[in-house]
Amino acid sequence: MSAEPASSSLAFFRERFGLDDARLDTVLGTALERRLDHADLYFEYTTRDAVSLEEGIVKSGDRHLEQGVGVRVVDGARQGYAHSDEISVDSLQLAARTARAVAERPGEAGPVALAGREGRDLYPVARPPTDVPVETKVALLSEIDAYARSLDPRIDQVMASVICQHKQVLVAAADGTLAGDVQPLVRLNVQVIAASGERREMGYEGTGGRFDLERLLDPESWRPRVQEAVRLALLNLEAEPCPAGTMDVVLGPGWSGVLLHEAVGHGLEGDFNRKKTSAFADRLGQRVAAPGVTVVDDGTLPERRGSLNMDDEGTPTERTVLIEDGVLTGYLQDRLNARLMRMPPTGNGRRESYAHLPLPRMTNTFMLAGEDDPEDVLRSVDRGLYIASFGGGQVDITSGKFVFSANEAYKIEDGRLGAPVKGASLIGNGPDVLTRVSRIGSDLALDLGVGTCGKDGQSVPVGVGLPTVRIDGITVGGTEG
């Protein structure tokens, strides 16, 4: 098992870069030579590797090292930020002087009493996934290629990749925060193309999380993922054009929760609500969804892709109820927006790397299960559409309008699954779609660990989830002529 993450990360940066408390105090003091509301330092040391296979051969393999430090000062709603890929006292002092230029009020530097915090460990691993030999990863991809082709003669192409990351971070702040974390992350992607005559269709499946890579090396883990990718490709060969119009829709459990993430989750982030650009601004305590709809963001789930022991400001992550029984109860907050909105931070200050400012971001966001049998939810729809999973989508945060394309969808005929369809999309409005939820299944499932969220040019790993739900009278875009 790994060492406790806070102490392990603290020891790593102290030993590798000589970052003792006195040096950190000196840099924070430089940043505080003007009167500021907050100042912090974010250190990062990340190793990442990726190996990919296509057409039966390894097409690419790379290993990347990223290290650096970001210095932030906050004065009201303004932030000054400077970063450097050199971790030394001189570079820190220069970055601190650059960042503090945002402040106009004179002040006096005072001592900063840094206090290390021993935290939990949501993702202990036996060894960093980037330490696993590349030959082992290449062998895995070769096995996946051979197995996928053995499942059906119509499989024409196989593409697979394994991506590993090991990140160490340290946060020191003017309020005395001194917190570190060691964050493993692994991901396996499998994509196949099936061909029948002139028709070619794709199927994709992936999995991952914050755990040992050895878990993915086990055939009992990766073979079901390959089977699923093949199943989807073959299914799409038989799919019919999707009808268009207003209809009742049933969303399947798991990855279809990406609709909730995009259409609703972003609108509940603190910055959009502080600036009143979200459709949910000033609506705390109001009904925004149908009774029974409860939405939470939980960064404390062990080994999940979106989980963190602490966010990128050193705040412990937590379970935040955003909507409870249809009523808006909270927002996702980083430190800046929490302070300006006079609310507590929720451990959702996240950044892509040391070169980026933290923003309020989701971790694992999902709707809680209801009491309906999933089969009863499906049977309740006479004619409609069942969407098992989504692909890409677009959302306007201000209006809440969205468009999402389906990866796997079926007609519903007489309360049963009918023919598979392709080209299906959902068109609607985030705040409105939650009011149209009429049935909630008891089968909450989280995704398999492949989510990545983009915001303001930054990407971070996230998780989504959903039980089977029925949504009444939503617009479906199709391809049926």
Locate all alpha helices (DSSP H) within 80-133, ordered by sequence: 89-99
Tell me whether strands 38-54 and 155-173 are parallel, antiparallel or unpaired: antiparallel
Q: How many residues does the chain have?
A: 481
Q: Which residue has the tokens 């024409």?
A: 156
Longest dimension (CA), the chain: 76
DSSP secondary structure letter of residue 361: -
Tell me whether strands 115-116 and 177-196 are parallel, antiparallel or unpaired: parallel
- Tell me the backbone φ, ψ of residue 408, rounded to 5 degrees: -140, 120
What is the SS3 assignment for 443-465? CCEECCCCEEEEECCEEEEEEEE
Pick from 338, 323, 344, 296: nearest CA to 463: 296
Please give the pLDDT value at position 110.
52
Q: 56 — alpha (psi -120 to 50), left (phi > 0) or beta? A: left
Our measurement of the distance from residue 363's CA atom to the centroid of its chain's CA atoms, rounded to an integer in Å, reads 6
Residue 215, token pair as written in the block: 């878990």
Q: Say if CB 373 and CB 441 are below 8 A apart.
A: yes
The residue ranges of DSSP E strands in 223-358, in sequence order, are 240-241, 245-251, 295-298, 319-324, 327-328, 349-350
Q: Say if CB 169 and CB 308 are below 8 A apart.
A: no
CA atoms within 13 A on the CB side of 147: 19
- Tell me the backbone φ, ψ of residue 175, rounded to 5 degrees: -85, 5
| Separation of alpha carbons 441 and 371, rounded Å | 6
Please give the pLDDT value at position 209.
98
Please give the pLDDT value at position 106.
58
Tell me whether strands 38-54 and 199-209 are parallel, antiparallel or unpaired: unpaired
Q: Which residue has the tokens 């196949």?
A: 192
Please give the pLDDT value at position 107.
56
| Separation of alpha carbons 368 and 374, rounded Å | 14
| Separation of alpha carbons 373 and 470, rounded Å | 12
Q: Roughly what angle, to the nearest 10 degrees, separates helices 219-238 and 134-151? A: 40
The residue ranges of DSSP E strands in 114-176, in sequence order, are 115-116, 155-173
Residue 3, token pair as written in the block: 């060492």
pLDDT tens for each residue of 469-479: 999 999 999 87
Domain ranges for the chain, please list them.
5-238, 245-477
Please give the pLDDT value at position 473.
96
What number of other Cβ atoms are within 10 A of residue 64's Cβ? 11
| Separation of alpha carbons 419 and 408, rounded Å | 11
DSSP secondary structure letter of residue 342: T
Please give the pLDDT value at position 1.
39
Cβ within 8 Å of residue 478, ≥6 positions away: 241, 242, 243, 244, 245, 421, 423, 424, 425
Which residues of the chain register pLDDT less than 50? 1-2
| Separation of alpha carbons 345 and 201, rounded Å | 46
What number of other Cβ atoms are within 10 A of residue 197's Cβ? 6
The yes or no reply on domain 5-238 and CATH 3.30.2290.10 is yes
| Separation of alpha carbons 460 and 135, rounded Å | 28
